[in-house]
Amino acid sequence: MLGCRTATRPLTIATRLLHSSSRRFSEPFNPAAIERAEDEVDVCIVGGGPAGISAAIRLKQLEREKGNEIRVVVLEKGSEVGSHIVSGAVIEPRALNELLPDWASTKTHPLTQPAVSSSMLFLTKTLAVPIPHPPQMNNKGNYVVSLSQFTRWLAGIAENEYGVEIYPGFAGAQLLLSDSPDSTDPWGNFAHSVRGVVTNEVGLTKDFRMKPSFEPGMAFRAKVTLLAEGAHGSLSKQAISMYNLRKESQPQTYGIGLKEVWRVDPEKHDPGKVIHTMGWPLTNSTYGGGFVYHMDGGLVSLGIVIGLDYKNPYLSPYRELQRMKHHPYFRKLLSTTGTTPVERLSYAGRVLTEGGLQSIPKLNFPGGALIGCSAGFVNVAKIKGTHNAMKSGMLAAETAWEAIQADHQGKVADMSSYDTALHNSWVQKDLHEVRNLRPSFNTVLGMWGGIAYSGVDSLFLKGRVPWTFKHTSKQSEKSLNASLDASHTESAQQHQPIEYPPFEEPLSFDLMTSVSLTGTNHTEDQPVHLREERRRRHVSANVANFAGLLGRACPAGVYEYVDVEDGAESAAQKAGKKLVINSQNCIHCKLCDVKVPTQDITWTVPEGGGGPKYSE
């Protein structure tokens, strides 16, 4: 037992060796026979993003204000805070101003580039036509930043100024539940409560045998557990399903965001300029658009976001991004007029929530709560979510503080007032105004009707209407937790393959060249963290009906449907293909879990510290 350690420096992975119990190596791993180290904390936060770090800071602020000591631990699956945060963003500082009113006086803050202009372009194959943008996209007072660097800076404040314990390389793998039902869920049903989390094992082979380096996961027992894993987090999925948190909400919908950071010619760099695009290269039936953010230091973040409700299984989000750069507007931006070299510095991908207000689940469960994009607070019209994520963390922290102070004889923490506080806050107002914009594209109005409706609503109605569009009319028990986006995928027989243009270095690049920029690394010979169920059925259904969608959809080349060699399994021969999962390439975007039509792939956490290493 570690006890209530008060150190404020990050606990390294090597520390776990101190808690090993003797074992014989190469034996099959038996969780029931493993002795785990345990640690007692007041609040355990899973995820070191803006929401999780904001919650941790607010808890320690309350400690200072009210005088009662509280132990706060943040578990981050990346090798360091910020390494799994997709970079290049425009931040609305509203929540930051509330959390750290004097942030601008700190010498090291990364919000050095104010947004100075905002505009929108409609792209055809050859033209870039200026069009009005919704007032919500006005970026006056906002900042163009590296979100990875912003999160790293915020974590430094949490750790060094407030004494928050941040443990990178610790991946929350399973919820730690009470031994017996001891509470009620939000609907009044008797249920087990969440009493913390267990981190992932380290040092297992692919066939779940113990290596000499084996270390069992640690159990962090907590009075309150806050899940801040980002969009489609694995523990968040478990909690939502276990406690039926979507009982009164619409299913969540997602988009895939792909980004690149470039160092451009100084003559092409316009610090603080923000551009969003609609139209080409996407078809009229595909929701999405591009963006260009001129950051500080001669850098430009550019990319594309595509709604994962797209119908055509032949679509490749990665190829759409590369094709977009072939447009004359991007060719000019990424060219050089002098001796200054133009360089692509990084590539990244991540799913983001697009469901908005109607897709927010019940936020509290026995012993904990969902914060940030684990719940889904992105304002799609603004294309921003950091401000809402941070505010949700702050509100959850205030409820957690009160719950812990009211703790009597191990009573389960009641986080229900956090759900109420969130819906009484400016986050609710922020999302309510734009609640109908994204779902309007999936109504009988169609794509162009959605554009027209969104223009009228955002410019004039501003959400002041008596209706709220649903993402689906099929409100069944199954659809509440299943992927709505996957259900929109149509058979390959209804579509033609897309002929993408060849790559043109140094403008566009093949996929593996881009993946090399992510710094992705996973320990060799560890269990595959992409759990595929019913492999025979998966190959047969996905190849025959959807032309092996994941082979194109995955932005890291994780999935391949390859020809079966002679003598292979008869079931695979029936499809003519077999599935190869290159899990070492995974950049933790979660697209596979969301989009696979057969819904038989589950993303789970790999060993802590694995995955991408984003910095720009």
Query: What is the chain's alpha carbon radius of gyration, rounded to the nearest angstrom?
Result: 24
**Helix 50-66 and helix 147-162, axial crossing angle in degrees, nearest 10:** 20
Instruction: Return the SS3 of 174.
Output: strand
52: CB partners within 8 A, 6+ apart: 45, 46, 74, 76, 226, 228, 371, 372, 393
Query: Is the distance from CB of 615 to CB of 82 less than 8 angstroms?
Result: yes
How deeply is 257 buried, as exposed, middle or buried, from its count of CB atoms within 10 A (0-12, 13-18, 19+)? Answer: buried
Q: Which two tokens stand for residue 21?
A: 């119990």
| Cβ-based neighbour number of residue 406 at 10 Å | 10
Question: How long a stretch of residues is the chain?
Answer: 616
Q: Is 12 a catalytic residue?
A: no
38 φ, ψ (degrees, to nearest 5): -125, 150
Catalytic residue among 151, 246, 554, 598: 554
Residue with tokens 């995974």: 586
Residue 104 sits at the vertex; the CA angle it makes with 98 and 107, to the nearest 5 degrees, is 135
Closest CA to 46 of 374, 362, 352, 366: 374
Q: Is 589 a catalytic residue?
A: yes
**Helix 416-423 and helix 386-405, axial crossing angle in degrees, nearest 10:** 140
Catalytic residue among 386, 392, 454, 518: 386
**Residue 459 amino acid letter:** L
d(CA 438, CA 436): 6
Q: How far is Cα of residue 516 from the mean position of the Cα atoms in its chain?
A: 20
Q: Is 4 a catalytic residue?
A: no
d(CA 527, CA 556): 19
318 φ, ψ (degrees, to nearest 5): -65, -45
d(CA 302, CA 304): 7
| Long-range pairs for 98-104: beta carbons < 8 A, 24 or more residues apart | 98/391, 98/394, 99/54, 99/57, 99/58, 99/390, 99/394, 100/57, 100/157
Query: Is the distance from CB of 362 to CB of 368 less than 8 angstroms?
Result: no
User: What is the bridge-based pairing of β-strands 577-581 and 559-563?
Assistant: antiparallel
Catalytic residue among 350, 435, 438, 552: 350
How deeply is 494 buried, as exposed, middle or buried, from its count of CB atoms within 10 A (0-12, 13-18, 19+)? Answer: exposed
Query: Is the distance from CB of 605 to CB of 529 less than 8 angstroms?
Result: yes
Catalytic residue among 83, 87, 146, 359: 87
Any idea what DSSP says for residue 350? E
Residue 42 sits at the vertex; the CA angle it makes with 40 and 45, to the nearest 5 degrees, is 100
Q: Is 373 a catalytic residue?
A: no
Q: Is 108 a catalytic residue?
A: no
d(CA 158, CA 53): 7
Catalytic residues: 87, 350, 386, 554, 586, 589, 592
